[in-house]
Amino acid sequence: MNRTKGDEEEYWNSSKFKAFTFDDEDDELSQLKESKRAVNSLRDFVDDDDDDDLERVSWSGEPVGSRTRPGSFQSLSDALSDTPAKSYAPELGRPKGEYRDYSNDWSPSDTVRRLRKGKVCSLERFRSLQDKLQLLEEAVSMHDGNVITAVLIFLKRTLSKEILFRELEVRQVALRHLIHFLKEIGDQKLLLDLFRFLDRTEELALSHYREHLNIQDPDKRKEFLKTCVGLPFSAEDSAHIQDHYTLLERQIIIEANDRHLESAGQTEIFRKHPRKASILNMPLVTTLFYSCFYHYTEAEGTFSSPINLKKTFKIPDKQYVLTALAARAKLRAWNDVDALFTTKNWLGYTKKRAPIGFHRVVEILHKNNAPVQILQEYVNLVEDVDTKLNLATKFKCHDVVIDTYRDLKDRQQLLAYRSKVDKGSAEEEKIDALLSSSQIRWKN
């Protein structure tokens, strides 16, 4: 949509708009991929920083420019006054009280320097295309993002878009500033027109895709996303757009079904744990958590099945296990937790395996108030002895600590740990029995 002068002034006065700098990185694509990167937000469920090895899963552009001096202008009106700025210094030879307007004497260079200092300037005197382009050249040569953008706002208002686009096409620094500014103020119409003129089809597609953010109705948003699927994105981005459409399509089906089940009041999980929010437009990781919480046992053929989501969106094992563990532990469904880590070999023997590491399993279980007996079972599965002892001590898994020091034949550490258990407790008796045993050959 077209922006008024008031909208442009808000750009300078509002803290929600970021200044344009030469050092800014391309953030458009990161916004596009917001939801799969959201899987990395599993730390919301898991208080652990060790997830560098996890693949990011999600969705929901390039300011390049200048060394901006934020705050150069108090407001847009201060920088670009519609009326000529006046100098009230009296001129020699004139009667007292008679003044001359010096602003018409300022060259493009003088004007740009005054803008850079945050002084009031009128740009209206620059009427010819040549003067306007000279003003822009001077602004670019100053390497000040605020000044460049201020001049571009003036040109945007006083030139036809065809002339503006034509002149900026050969002035790449100014062009990048205009693109960034239009993204910041949300002038999608002019931005799309600019990308069409420049024949930048992928950026045109990306700008079109971003329009979905303005569509609140889920069905209309889904239909809009469907129109984005065939646009000229890169192969990777096309896959993300397709995933976004597929996820929303599935969320609409799940939401309608679960709203009906909840209102009917006949499904135990919804009675015990009423939903706090709609699943619509949520990131992939939130949808997976929701599915593991409310639909964990459903057959793979259903849209709300966690396994179906995992396969459809190619969620890695580590991320799936982290999310499923967080959901089932929150429900205190310990049998489901056990099954999550139990595997069978071809001979039928079972063993415990955790792609995320049992130390992380223990942390998540403790966060969800798992009983000591459950914690001890998984602490015992931690292979590194020091990590096992640290976790067992931290979470008061006394039997694990005692048995580990016994296996290490470390009498001194066992004796020291005796002071940390309750007097007269079963743990103290167990330690005393071990210390007095003649069957153990202590190393110290």
Q: Where are the domains of the chain?
A: 108-199, 201-315, 332-396, 397-443
The identity of residue 407, as a single letter, is D
Residue the block writes with tokens 């708009």? 17
Residue the block writes with tokens 């050249």? 137
The whole-angstrom separation of Cα 82 and Cα 424 is 87
Look at phi and psi of residue 46 and say left if phi exceeds 0, alpha if psi is from -120 to 50, else beta.
beta
Is the pLDDT assigned to residue 17 strictly greater than 80? Answer: no
Exposure letters 381-417 (e unless 16+ CB within 10 A, then b): bbeeeeebbebbbebebbbbbbbbbbeeebbeebeeb
- Which of 127, 149, 153, 188 has the alpha carbon at shortest distance from 70? 149
User: Could you tell me what percent of the chain has a pLDDT over 90?
Assistant: 56
- Residue 7 confidence (pLDDT): 52
How many Cβ atoms from other residues are within 10 Å of residue 333's Cβ?
A: 17
How many Cβ atoms from other residues are within 10 Å of residue 22's Cβ?
A: 15
Is the pLDDT assigned to residue 174 strictly greater than 90? Answer: yes
Integer CA distances (angstroms), 37 to 208, 225, 240, 319, in order: 21, 19, 11, 11
Calculate helix-pair angle for 284-294, 317-330, nearest 10 degrees. Answer: 50
The identity of residue 324, as a single letter, is A
**Residues 27-47: tens digit of each pLDDT:** 444 444 544 444 444 334 333
Q: Which two tokens stand for residue 39?
A: 């899987």
Which residues are bridge partners to 57 per DSSP?
none
Do the beta carbons of residue 367 and residue 374 sit within 8 Å? no
**What is the Cα 170 distance to its own chain's centre?**
35
How many Cβ atoms from other residues are within 10 Å of residue 110's Cβ?
A: 14
**Residues 355-381: tens digit of each pLDDT:** 999 999 999 999 999 999 999 999 999
List, as one string, the DSSP characters of 95-151: -TT-----GGG--HHHHHHHHHTT-----TT--SHHHHHHHHHHHHHTT-HHHHHHH
User: Mean pLDDT over all residues of the chain?
Assistant: 80
Give me the mean pLDDT over the 292-315 stretch: 95
Give me the mean pLDDT over the 291-297 stretch: 96
Is the pLDDT assigned to residue 278 strictly greater than 50? Answer: yes
pLDDT band at 110, cuts 50/70/90?
A: confident
Give me the mean pLDDT over the 82-111 stretch: 48
Is the pLDDT assigned to residue 138 strictly greater than 70? Answer: yes
- Enumerate residues 6+ apart whose C-beta is below 8 A from 75: 9, 12, 13
Is the pLDDT assigned to residue 63 strictly greater than 80? Answer: no
Longest dimension (CA), the chain: 116
For the entire predicted model, the pTM comes to 0.63
**Residues 410-435: tens digit of each pLDDT:** 999 999 999 999 999 999 999 999 99
Is the pLDDT assigned to residue 131 strictly greater than 50? Answer: yes
The whole-angstrom separation of Cα 357 and Cα 382 is 8
Do the beta carbons of residue 54 and residue 93 sit within 8 Å? no
The whole-angstrom separation of Cα 400 and Cα 398 is 5
Alpha-carbon dihedral 268, 272, 277, 279, rounded to 10 degrees: -30
- Residue 207 confidence (pLDDT): 82
The whole-angstrom separation of Cα 135 and Cα 106 is 11
- Residue 60 confidence (pLDDT): 32
**Residues 309-334: tens digit of each pLDDT:** 999 999 999 999 999 999 999 999 99
Q: Which two tokens stand for residue 157?
A: 């208002």
Is the pLDDT assigned to residue 105 strictly greater than 80? Answer: no
- Enumerate residues 6+ apart whose C-beta is below 8 A from 422: 428
- Residue 346 confidence (pLDDT): 78
**Residues 215-264: tens digit of each pLDDT:** 999 999 999 999 888 888 888 889 999 999 999 999 999 999 999 999 99
The whole-angstrom separation of Cα 412 and Cα 415 is 5
User: Could you tell me what percent of the chain has a pLDDT over 70?
Assistant: 76
